[in-house]
Structure 1
């Protein structure tokens, strides 16, 4: 057991490769020094499942959201539906949501409409917005900057965008979460951006079961692996592993204020 505790700020515990053995997955994570887990939903039919995981397991929280890939399949999931689902005490975030123009699995206008519904829900509930963006920096920022009632904050998850996008998102009050991608040899630009993220706005995540970090490439990613990403970032940023863990965990609780 490591002498400090990390939080995996974005994992898909309900996906079959992890969901078939959630107690084992969580036990291995805790043995690696990971004590908190935000279970992310991507489809409406997942919401009850991730909430049940949060209800059942200590240190697990849940979100409600529609991934941009799924926007075409959920045209009726509006802000009111999200707001109602977010009333559960273990739900601490809205998303993941956003825009993905790399795969374009859903119509772009439909993605924007879904994203706007999530933004409205986040403002209405006061919960952080979990944002996915790929090859859609300008439109993502434009929607985040649209005026609305209530404060909007959140996190750009699995960050792989440009330095300019990071600067704009930070200026809007968002946090930046880094996944195992930052450890990849071909992610030098991302590593340079990772050095610039303010200490009080940095989060770490796995996005498991995807994107296993070095030295676990090729394996099914688990929340335990966030320790490898944190270790890499600590070295990159010139701080101790304990300091990196302490600051990112404090940041998680500062952002997701409903988290105990």
Structure 2
């Protein structure tokens, strides 16, 4: 088994007591590579430390929309400098979050645009966080010519109509634990229609834990459960889903 967890937060405090064991379980379970997400002033350094410690862990760095109000000019320059590191494979997670009232929408949109512009300048893919902001996310991606860089719609939860727009802009759609939930009708319907060369898997651990561990801490080893659900939805073998989604991930991130 060769699985790729394209979105995890192994530096989160939930793993402080057993981080090495969690990572070892993932490897033993067939997870050959992971991308850890550094999304603010606190998590970018810990993400980079993980990427430098483990050969098979890569980094994405960016500024999360809930923290948009804290981003300074120096932070954007910091992200740009880190993108020169050979273990940094994407800018993210970036985007819009209208669920949590922590950063004004106009500031979120400004920070989002700045980071798309940086990605275009550096020719880096982007990892999109989108919560309750589908229309504005799509509009800004179009206006900022995000098609030039592409990337990932992380933990995709939107409609098939929105998915088609994202696919037309060159984005991959990534799915996690929710596709294992009995009541998650829309993500399953969308996944069933996503072209195989645009499909990615993730955990978003320690969040969005798949069935049957829902309610407990998630970890990267559980990407296998996501792969099993995706295989069932697609009517394919688990090994085939793993092989294709890992190939997609390697190509998108430019990992040899």
- 1:33/1:63 Cα in 2 relative to 1: closer, same or farther (>3 Å)? same
- Of stretches 75-84 and 214-223 in structure 1, the one that deviates more from structure 2 is 75-84
Unaligned runs of 5+ in 1: none
The answer to whether the 8 Å contact 1:126/1:150 transfers is no
- In the other structure, the counterpart of 1:176 is 173
Q: CA–CA distance in 2 between the matches of 1:173 and 1:27?
A: 34
CA deviation after TM superposition for structure 1 residue 117, in Å = 1.4
Q: CA–CA distance in 1 between the matches of 2:62 and 2:200?
A: 20
- In the other structure, the counterpart of 1:45 is 42
The answer to whether the 8 Å contact 2:5/2:201 transfers is yes
DSSP 3-state at the match of 2:59: strand
The answer to whether the 8 Å contact 2:37/2:92 transfers is yes
- In the other structure, the counterpart of 1:190 is 187
CA deviation after TM superposition for structure 1 residue 82, in Å = 2.2
Q: CA–CA distance in 1 between the matches of 2:149 and 2:229?
A: 30
The answer to whether the 8 Å contact 2:116/2:146 transfers is no
- 1:115/1:161 Cα in 2 relative to 1: closer, same or farther (>3 Å)? same
CA deviation after TM superposition for structure 1 residue 103, in Å = 2.0
- In the other structure, the counterpart of 1:163 is 160
CA deviations over 1:41-60 (Å, ceiling 9, x no partner): 11023222211111111210
CA deviations over 1:194-250 (Å, ceiling 9, x no partner): 100100000000000001101111210000001001001101110000000000000
Q: CA–CA distance in 2 between the matches of 1:170 and 1:125?
A: 22
1:132 has 2:122 as partner: no
CA deviations over 1:145-204 (Å, ceiling 9, x no partner): 114599221000011111111110000000000010111112112111110010000000
Q: CA–CA distance in 2 between the matches of 1:94 and 1:32?
A: 27
Equivalent pairs, count? 256
1:239 has 2:236 as partner: yes
- In the other structure, the counterpart of 2:52 is 55
- In the other structure, the counterpart of 1:214 is 211
CA deviations over 1:115-169 (Å, ceiling 9, x no partner): 1111011111111100000111111011111145992210000111111111100
Unaligned runs of 5+ in 2: none
The answer to whether the 8 Å contact 2:116/2:144 transfers is no
DSSP 3-state at the match of 1:8: strand
- In the other structure, the counterpart of 1:81 is 78
Q: CA–CA distance in 2 between the matches of 1:250 and 1:91?
A: 18
TM-score, normalization by structure 2: 0.96
- Of stretches 46-55 and 246-255 in structure 1, the one that deviates more from structure 2 is 46-55
Q: CA–CA distance in 2 between the matches of 1:104 and 1:172?
A: 29
- 1:77/1:68 Cα in 2 relative to 1: closer, same or farther (>3 Å)? farther
The answer to whether the 8 Å contact 1:130/1:157 transfers is yes
- In the other structure, the counterpart of 1:249 is 246
The answer to whether the 8 Å contact 2:147/2:169 transfers is no
> What CA RMSD, in Å, does the superposition of the two structures yield over aligned residues?
1.5
